[in-house]
């Protein structure tokens, strides 16, 4: 694995969840805050990978994405029940910070459990790339391997990410990268306490 070079660090993109632009859904059932969509300029029909935070405000169908794998993680709120008519998906997304994977082409209806909820969404085009989504805790030292693309965001507590240089993340802050032909990492991660949590998305080409 090739470690991150100082030259590559310019491709790290920092973000703060609180400053992301909210865009309403077409059906009025919620809003989406896009963090990253790759490659640059891609839309919902031709992206390779996309990460966003959505607020689900009412019951209704999920948008369908043929050929796309999805991972959804509850961030805040009581959660949502997800079910497809064919029975392939039947899941109660009610425990925060537990990723749930499903196929984007599934016809899924969502039902709020108790009011609006915020969810972290990762989508990858199946024929091009795949995503590993994990939530790391601050009770022990953590490490992540290098990856050609990915995203890290603090869910709770302060984190230090050590690669070619040290990056600090406060709650709701994160970074993402797209290294092209190279790779970023490996990362060593330390947190300010056992209650800290960080969501990690590593993207690899298939």
What integer is the mean pLDDT of 65-86?
96
Around Cβ 49, how many Cβ atoms within 10 Å? 26
Residues 68 and 92 in one domain: yes
The widest CA-to-CA distance across the chain, in whole angstroms, is: 50
28 lies in a domain? Answer: yes
Bridge partners, 24 (sequence order): 31
Whether 10 shows a pLDDT value over 60: the answer reads no
Residues 121 and 33 in one domain: yes
Domains contained in the chain, number: 2
Say which CATH number the domain at 73 has.
2.60.120.10
CB 160 within 8 A of CB 86: no
Residues 92 and 140 in one domain: no
What integer is the mean pLDDT of 75-104?
96
Structural domain ending residue among the three candidates 91, 108, 125: 125
CB 54 within 8 A of CB 30: yes
> What mean pLDDT, rounded, does the chain reach?
91
DSSP string, 138-168: TTS-EEE--BSEEEEEEEES-EEEESSSEEE
148 lies in a domain? Answer: yes
CA distance 144 to 132: 11
User: What integer pLDDT is reported at residue 26 of this predicted model?
Assistant: 63
Percentage of the chain lying above the pLDDT 70 cut: 93
Structural domain ending residue among the three candidates 92, 125, 158: 125
User: What integer pLDDT is reported at residue 33 of this predicted model?
Assistant: 96
Residues 118 and 37 in one domain: yes
Whether 180 shows a pLDDT value over 90: the answer reads no
User: What integer pLDDT is reported at residue 163 of this predicted model?
Assistant: 81
CA distance 167 to 162: 6
1 lies in a domain? Answer: no
- pLDDT tens-digit profile of 90-138? 999 999 999 999 999 999 999 999 999 999 999 999 999 999 999 999 9
Structural domain ending residue among the three candidates 125, 145, 166: 125
Residues 69 and 152 in one domain: no
Secondary structure of residue 7 in the 3-state scheme: helix
- Output 6 or 149, whichever has higher pLDDT: 149
User: What integer pLDDT is reported at residue 17 of this predicted model?
Assistant: 97
Domain of 188 in residue numbering reads as 7-15+129-205
Whether 2 shows a pLDDT value over 70: the answer reads no
Residues 95 and 157 in one domain: no
Residues 11 and 84 in one domain: no
Residues 121 and 146 in one domain: no
CA distance 48 to 115: 32
Residues 146 and 196 in one domain: yes
Around Cβ 166, how many Cβ atoms within 10 Å? 10
Whole-prediction pTM: 0.92
Secondary structure of residue 44 in the 3-state scheme: coil
Backbone CA torsion sign across 97, 36, 145, 157: negative
- pLDDT tens-digit profile of 26-60? 667 789 999 999 999 999 899 999 999 999 999 99
User: Which pair of tokens denotes residue 32?
Assistant: 């989406």
Residues 55 and 121 in one domain: yes
User: What integer pLDDT is reported at residue 182 of this predicted model?
Assistant: 77
Q: With cut-offs at 50, 70 and 90, classify the pLDDT of residue 1.
A: very low
């Amino acid at each position: 694995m090739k470690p991150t070079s100082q030259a590559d660090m310019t491709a790290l993109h920092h973000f703060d969840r609180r400053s992301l632009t909210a865009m309403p859904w077409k059906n009025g059932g919620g809003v989406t805050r896009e963090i990253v969509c790759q490659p640059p300029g891609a839309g919902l029909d031709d992206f390779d990978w996309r990460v966003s935070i959505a607020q689900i405000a009412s019951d209704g169908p999920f948008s369908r994405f043929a050929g796309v794998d999805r991972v959804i993680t509850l961030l805040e709120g009581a959660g949502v029940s997800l079910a497809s008519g064919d029975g392939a998906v039947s899941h109660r997304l009610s425990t925060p910070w537990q990723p749930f994977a499903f196929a984007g082409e599934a016809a899924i209806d969502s039902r709020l459990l108790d009011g609006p909820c915020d969810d972290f969404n990762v989508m990858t085009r199946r024929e091009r790339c795949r995503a590993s989504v994990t939530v790391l805790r601050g009770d022990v030292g953590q490490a992540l391997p290098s990856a050609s693309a990915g995203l890290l965001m603090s869910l709770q507590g302060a984190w230090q990410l050590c690669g070619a240089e040290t990056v600090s993340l406060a709650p709701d802050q994160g970074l993402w990268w797209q290294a092209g032909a190279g790779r970023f990492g490996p990362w060593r991660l330390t947190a300010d306490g056992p209650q800290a949590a960080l969501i990690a998305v590593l993207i690899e080409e298939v």
